[in-house]
């Protein structure tokens, strides 16, 4: 509540947090897509993950003020099958991704979009939204049963905005809540007809098993460990099937590192201990370190946040 309402609306959907390219947000949408359509879109989901990795690599280059000519050199190297563009090493996952695409493709567009004078201009929206356009076009003619979904700590509809404009919202009976009134005001201004409300995750005002599924991001690090235990039991109580949980500050250690900041927390959570709390309420907990996943599956070693994790919890 200390923060400006407009800043709250915008800060978690910008740059590497942009849900179109943030791997945790992409995996959350995939979590929902798999629940709706089983394995039908596995191949497209794989392409979207690669898009996210490419975009994060490109953003890193742009922050280092790469020139337009260097971007063109990268494209020339990719077209020629080379792994080096005038001294700039091209990671193998970028070349592999390039080779999965037919020509012309989004990589060609993204390496060519900048005017000759500077790369310090925003990437055009239509390129940022490459997969939004694809999913929207596909899902518009899809049919599936409606699933009820809860999102605690939804912020200013940060992820929901992209669930909506990717074409997924029509399949969901969605409820989002947040403790912060300004966030809910922002969400309501964007989606007046959707169920967004002010509520506390420590006492969710819903019946047991009310929702088929739940997803929640970047909340638990901000709670005391005792409050986190209560929040996890509440989320598991109201969810009937699966939960997708995102973390931004987790590690493979065996104790939580508690860091209280005023009334808030900025903890570094132990993956094992947090998993154990979920296991008190769930039949299965899958722990995914984004960094390890991208390294082992794609040879991508430059994720921007080594502390990013996703749990897939089965009640
Ligand atoms: C880092 S933000 C994450 C927002 C959003 N989930 C995202 O990933 O963009 C943490 C959010 O948790 C909310 N929050 C903190 N404590 C809460 C509580 N006890 N109940 C509900 N929401 C809470 C905050 O208001 C804030 O919107």
Q: What is the mean pLDDT of residues 218-224?
A: 96
What share of the chain has pLDDT > 90, as a percent? 77
Domain boundaries, the chain: 145-314
Distance 20 CA to ligand 1 centre (A): 20
Distance 273 CA to ligand 1 centre (A): 21
Q: Cβ(176) to ligand 1 under 6 A?
A: no
Measure 155 CA to ligand 1 centroid, in angstroms: 6
User: Does any ligand 1 atom lie closer than 6 A to the CB of residue 152?
Assistant: yes
| Pocket lining: 224 vs ligand 1, CB cutoff 6 Å | no
pLDDT tens digits for range 179-207: 999 999 999 999 999 999 999 999 999 99
Looking at ligand 1, which residue's alpha carbon is closest to its atom 25? Answer: 180
Asked whether 187 lines ligand 1 (CB < 6 A), one says no
Confidence (pLDDT) at 66: 83
Cis peptide before 104 (omega within 30 of 0): yes
Per-residue pLDDT at 125: 87
Question: Which residue lies with its CA nearest to atom 11 of ligand 1?
Answer: 153
Phi and psi of 81, rounded to 5°? Answer: 75, 25
Both tokens assigned to 242 = 């699966």
Residue range 145-314 forms a domain whose CATH class is alpha beta
> What are the tens digits of pLDDT across the range 155-168?
999 999 999 999 99
- CA 162 to centroid of ligand 1, rounded, Å: 17
116-151 pLDDT, tens digit per residue, is: 666 677 888 889 999 999 999 999 999 888 999 999
Ligand 1 center–CA 151 separation, angstroms: 10
* Cβ neighbours for 68, distance < 8 A, ≥ 6 positions apart: 114, 115, 116, 117, 118, 119
Instruction: Give distance in angstroms: CA of 201 to centre of ligand 1.
Output: 9
Summarize the confidence of residues 99-103 as an average pLDDT: 87
């Amino acid at each position: 509540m200390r923060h400006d309402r407009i800043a709250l609306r915008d800060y978690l959907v910008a740059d590497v947090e942009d849900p179109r390219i943030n791997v945790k947000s992409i995996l959350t949408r995939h979590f929902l897509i798999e629940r709706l359509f089983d394995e039908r879109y596995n191949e497209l989901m794989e392409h979207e993950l690669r898009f996210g990795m490419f975009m994060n690599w490109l953003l890193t280059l742009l922050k280092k003020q790469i020139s337009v000519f260097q971007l063109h050199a990268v494209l020339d190297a990719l077209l020629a099958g080379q792994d080096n563009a005038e001294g700039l090493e091209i990671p193998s996952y970028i070349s592999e991704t390039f080779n999965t695409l037919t020509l012309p493709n989004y990589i060609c567009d993204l390496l060519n979009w900048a005017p000759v004078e500077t790369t310090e201009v925003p990437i055009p929206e239509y390129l940022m939204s490459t997969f939004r356009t694809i999913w929207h076009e596909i899902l518009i003619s899809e049919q599936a049963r409606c699933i009820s979904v809860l999102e605690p700590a939804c912020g200013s509809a940060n992820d929901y905005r992209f669930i909506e404009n990717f074409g997924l919202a029509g399949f969901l009976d969605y409820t989002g809540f947040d403790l912060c009134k300004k966030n809910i005001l922002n969400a309501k201004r964007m989606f007046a007809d959707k169920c967004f409300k002010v509520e506390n995750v420590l006492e969710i005002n819903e019946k047991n098993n009310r929702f088929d599924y739940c997803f929640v991001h970047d909340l638990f690090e901000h709670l005391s460990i005792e409050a986190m235990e209560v929040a996890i039991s509440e989320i598991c109580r109201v969810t009937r099937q699966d939960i997708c949980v995102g973390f931004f500050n987790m590690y493979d250690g065996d104790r939580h590192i508690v860091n209280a900041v005023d009334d808030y927390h900025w903890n570094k959570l132990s993956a094992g201990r947090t998993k154990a709390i979920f296991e008190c309420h769930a039949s299965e907990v899958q722990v995914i370190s984004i960094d390890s996943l991208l390294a082992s599956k794609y040879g991508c070693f430059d994720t921007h946040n080594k502390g990013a994790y996703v749990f897939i919890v089965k009640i």
